[in-house]
Structure 1
Amino acid sequence: MDSGVDGYACFACHNQKSLQPMSNNPGLLLDEFEELKRRILQSKWGHTELAPILAFPNEITMLIFNLACDRSRLLFRQRSTAFGHFEEQEQHISEGAQELTISHVCHAWREISLDYSVLWSTINHFPKSPVGRLTDRLTTYLARAQANLMDLWAHVSGLDDLQCLLKILQLCSSRWRRISLTFDEHSMCRLPTRTVQLKRLKIFRNLETFDIYHPGGVDIGVDIDLMTESGQICTMATIGPRLTSLRVDHRLFLQSLRLRAPKIHQNCLSHLQLESGSATAQRLPWSSFLLILAEFTKLVSLSLSSLIFDPPRRRPRIGEINAIVAPNLQYFRCADKEVAVWMWLYFRAPRLKFLTFNRVTLRDHHLRNFRYVVHDMHEQIFPSLETLTFANCFFHFVLSADGMRPIIDATRNITHLKISGSPSTLGAQETPIHWMSQVMPQEKVWPHLDTISIAWRRPIANADKEKPLANADTEIASVSLERMTERMRLLNQRCVLRTFNYLAREWKVKNHLQLPSVPGEAATGFWLTEWPPVDNTNFHWTSETSFAS
């Protein structure tokens, strides 16, 4: 079949007589050429791959605008394992509001962007921008966002910023959905008191996520109540009826707990992370930990980023132990050494799936004295536990493996064991893998275990993954492999080993073993568990730096 172009050419050839008069009239000839071009283009439009794109639908354009204004680099869900790039990423995203740039490109884009209310529902404030500009921008953004709730990402560089933010937040207290405040590391430690009364402040009634972080902690003193700027913001956030995700300094949280009128809405809070930026900060009494478990029954995830709680004042007797049940808790991350020791007596979580210990020290004389209590109740402690993680932990069980037994009994049902850290800080006999074989074949330790993930972080001095490991690193790697092989032989049970590829190569060379090729974790970093547990936590990326291996 002849193409449309050939047809037009033949038509022109067979109609030379009709074209002859046009040669005397250039205008008619140009009109004929234009008609020919139109018919050629019309023929090509029949093929999708040749059809020109004259304009995007507004829905597609809005989607592109939304991607251009993506704030995911502020969230830890889109984090990079190269920690040095975090500050650069945040600085890059703060250099200018992309929605403002888009709205100034042309009249068409401005019309579309101004009609797209979601584009204006997030407002950022960083130290380079004057605080006064934030007030002006907020008025504009509120109008353009229409009925959408607002998200605020603010970096606080000083007391003036904080006071201004408090006023701004109060201007439209019912419009906030997320508030994320990060303090400058060198800003201030002690916040002065104010005379503003709590009854004059407005509650954030639609707030779902509140996130406040100070790298050095917030020193609010012992006798100072909630009359601080950060304390007031925290109070107004925590008593909001729709708050589901909260990340806050543990002392501010405790003072919010003590506020009885109005009280925190325990029925909504499902994600809680307590921070303690200062190693010398005053710790909370052990009863506060039990209070959190008892009152916040809807908690799904709980994270303790550092040493927050004091131990119990005295060792309880067996008949005096009243364990607290957290009925909905599924994810628990603990970097508090006191909680790691005492939780086995006081803490029950029937739906807990992921348990992570980070930077804690476990000693046999801490746990051995109440191992029989835990053994008798192990089926009631964490019956649904699937994944147990030890990250950068130190183990000192010099006498026997009995010190580890409370942990083994309480986590009996796990199917996945994760161990990460630096081999140079551990001995070959100081890992859970060693204890698994030490009590065999008398009993099955973690009988349902089918996967072990080992992530020994290579020291910086030996960061080249093509070079052999140091002797200490090679020793612990070899011992781990030997223990796993022994376990599989005694139990006649297959177990999957996941590790870095370079570790597998070292084991092959040293032991002349033919190991199957198993894809390892990312070579640039190892993140402990799949986190966040759900998609709506939306904390700032600094929330994960305490739990990175």
Structure 2
Amino acid sequence: MLILDLPNEIQSEIFTFAHRDNGTLLLPVEVILSHVCSEWRDIVINLPILWTAFKFEAHRRTSVPFDKLEEYLSRSKTQLLELYFDIYFPNISLANQYFTLLDIVIAQAYRWRRFTLFTDLKGRPIGIVEGLHRLNGLRQLNAPNLEYFAMCLAGVDWDAPDPGHINPSVLIGGAPRLSVIRIDTASHLHSLPPLSNMNTLTIQDPPFLKEYLCSFHTFRSILMVPTLTYLSIEPRLMVYPPSFGDLETLPPIVMPSLRTLRITRCDSILFILWLLHAPLLETLMLHRLETRPLSSGLRISTTSRPLPCSTAMAPPGHFTPATCIWSTLFSTNLPCAQNTSSYRALTAHRQSKGIPVY
């Protein structure tokens, strides 16, 4: 039997499966399938699920795909959308076209399921102030079906003051289903989405980061969202050191739902392990810190369960998670603790005051 002899419903299922497994194809699978033959083209064009994912990377194209975007929006009908934009601004003309492209998708916010925007406003002809103004349509937006949101805008005004709160600055109209978020260390200044239902958070570096952009108060407020379960912290510079205040009086970071914590490269915030109260924490990953790799595996007991890590061995005990982690790092002479500025600052400060370092 030839594949063309199969019922259209069966062929549609095959095409849908292929669409989910797009993999590393140079062209989207829906474009490839629609150019095989007229029969397949008719099926593919009339199968909305195949046209829900639109991806635009400016460095891969010499023109702005207005027609392509309009075709995707039309062919996907009422299906929810997955939108990805990675944009840079080589000149004012292209910048204006890119913003027009974003205006088109902003008008479809009620259909967003996933939305990603990476862009660089630093040193570009459009300018930081003008760029943020052009993105102002995101501010009052209501995205009722949005589940994933990533927005990282490089090129922040480094002198912008920390707002001191985590009120949303985009999607203020509401995003009740938003649970997975990716931001950078400057997002709290201009592009922070609603965090109230956040389950998974990734904090990354913006390109060309040169300054600490976040106060301890703001950083702690983000981490203490009650629903946060999976947290990955990736930036090299995160919290402004003078914002710590008196180190031995820092308030605890209470994370009642946290199960997985990953810290990559960000030695400067390892001090949060000392402050952390996370009774459900199961997995701690310390990756690419200022230390040599250690092969043995660390198992730390929290108040209710073992905590697997990839550092050193420590006997189980009945400690709060924060005390257990900090005392284990100290007592095992772990380089990833003692070779970091945050550890040295906390240790020296406590010792100078005659305070035990566990």
Would the TM-score normalized by the shorter structure come out above 0.5?
yes
Residue 243 (structure 1) aligned with residue 175 (structure 2): no
- Give 1:208 shift: 1.3
Residue 387 (structure 1) aligned with residue 318 (structure 2): no
Once residues 68 and 237 of structure 1 are traced to their aligned partners in structure 2, the CA distance between those partners, rounded to angstroms, is 36
Indicate if the aligned counterparts of 1:170 and 1:201 stay in contact, CA closer than 8 A.
no
Counterpart among 267, 272, 281 of residue 211 in structure 2: 281
Once residues 194 and 149 of structure 2 are traced to their aligned partners in structure 1, the CA distance between those partners, rounded to angstroms, is 14
1:141 partner SS: helix
Once residues 390 and 213 of structure 1 are traced to their aligned partners in structure 2, the CA distance between those partners, rounded to angstroms, is 31
Counterpart among 88, 107, 119 of residue 157 in structure 1: 88
Give the count of matched residue pairs. Answer: 301
Indicate if the aligned counterparts of 1:123 and 1:151 stay in contact, CA closer than 8 A.
yes
Once residues 67 and 125 of structure 2 are traced to their aligned partners in structure 1, the CA distance between those partners, rounded to angstroms, is 29
- Give 1:147 shift: 1.7
Counterpart amino acid of residue 343 in structure 1: I
Deviations 1:156-207 (A, max 9, x none): 1323464234312222121111122344799849843135666985333322
- Give 1:272 shift: 0.9
Indicate if the aligned counterparts of 1:301 and 1:331 stay in contact, CA closer than 8 A.
yes
Counterpart among 249, 255, 276 of residue 347 in structure 1: 276
Indicate if the aligned counterparts of 1:182 and 1:213 stay in contact, CA closer than 8 A.
yes
Counterpart amino acid of residue 219 in structure 2: F
Q: In the alignment, which residue of structure 2 is the partner of 1:397?
A: none
- Give 1:221 shift: 3.7
Q: In the alignment, which residue of structure 2 is the partner of 1:298?
A: 227
Once residues 116 and 186 of structure 1 are traced to their aligned partners in structure 2, the CA distance between those partners, rounded to angstroms, is 41
- Give 1:122 shift: 1.0
Once residues 229 and 150 of structure 2 are traced to their aligned partners in structure 1, the CA distance between those partners, rounded to angstroms, is 17
1:219 partner SS: coil
5+ residue gaps in structure 1?
1-50, 74-88, 227-232, 258-263, 363-377, 392-404, 415-428, 433-549
Q: In the alignment, which residue of structure 2 is the partner of 1:168?
A: 104
Indicate if the aligned counterparts of 1:300 and 1:328 stay in contact, CA closer than 8 A.
yes
Q: In the alignment, which residue of structure 2 is the partner of 1:483?
A: none
Larger radius of gyration: 1
- Give 1:353 shift: 1.1
Counterpart among 324, 331, 341 of residue 410 in structure 1: 324
Q: In the alignment, which residue of structure 2 is the partner of 1:58?
A: 8
Indicate if the aligned counterparts of 1:218 and 1:249 stay in contact, CA closer than 8 A.
no
Q: In the alignment, which residue of structure 2 is the partner of 1:425?
A: none
Q: In the alignment, which residue of structure 2 is the partner of 1:115?
A: 46
Counterpart amino acid of residue 85 in structure 2: A
1:125 partner SS: strand
Of all paired residues, the percent bearing the same amino acid is 23
- Give 1:322 shift: 3.5
1:235 partner SS: coil
- Give 1:225 shift: 10
Counterpart amino acid of residue 410 in structure 1: C
- Give 1:245 shift: 1.1
TM-score (norm 2): 0.69
Once residues 53 and 2 of structure 2 are traced to their aligned partners in structure 1, the CA distance between those partners, rounded to angstroms, is 35
Q: In the alignment, which residue of structure 2 is the partner of 1:332?
A: 261
Runs (4+) of structure 1 exceeding 6 A deviation are 51-54, 184-187, 405-408, 429-432
TM-score (norm 1): 0.47
Structure 1 residues 187 and 177: CA distance shift in structure 2, 3 A: farther
5+ residue gaps in structure 2?
90-94, 292-300, 313-318, 337-358
Residue 314 (structure 1) aligned with residue 245 (structure 2): yes
- Give 1:57 shift: 3.4
Deviations 1:446-466 (A, max 9, x none): xxxxxxxxxxxxxxxxxxxxx
Once residues 17 and 262 of structure 2 are traced to their aligned partners in structure 1, the CA distance between those partners, rounded to angstroms, is 32
Q: In the alignment, which residue of structure 2 is the partner of 1:126?
A: 57
Structure 1 residues 151 and 300: CA distance shift in structure 2, 3 A: same
Residue 145 (structure 1) aligned with residue 76 (structure 2): yes
Residue 192 (structure 1) aligned with residue 128 (structure 2): yes
Structure 1 residues 123 and 199: CA distance shift in structure 2, 3 A: closer
Structure 1 residues 189 and 64: CA distance shift in structure 2, 3 A: farther
Higher percent of residues as helix = 1
Deviations 1:267-287 (A, max 9, x none): 321111111233413331111
Deviations 1:90-131 (A, max 9, x none): xx53xx443133223323212221332110111122334455
1:63 partner SS: helix
Counterpart amino acid of residue 386 in structure 1: L
- Give 1:210 shift: 1.5
- Give 1:350 shift: 1.0
Counterpart amino acid of residue 324 in structure 2: A
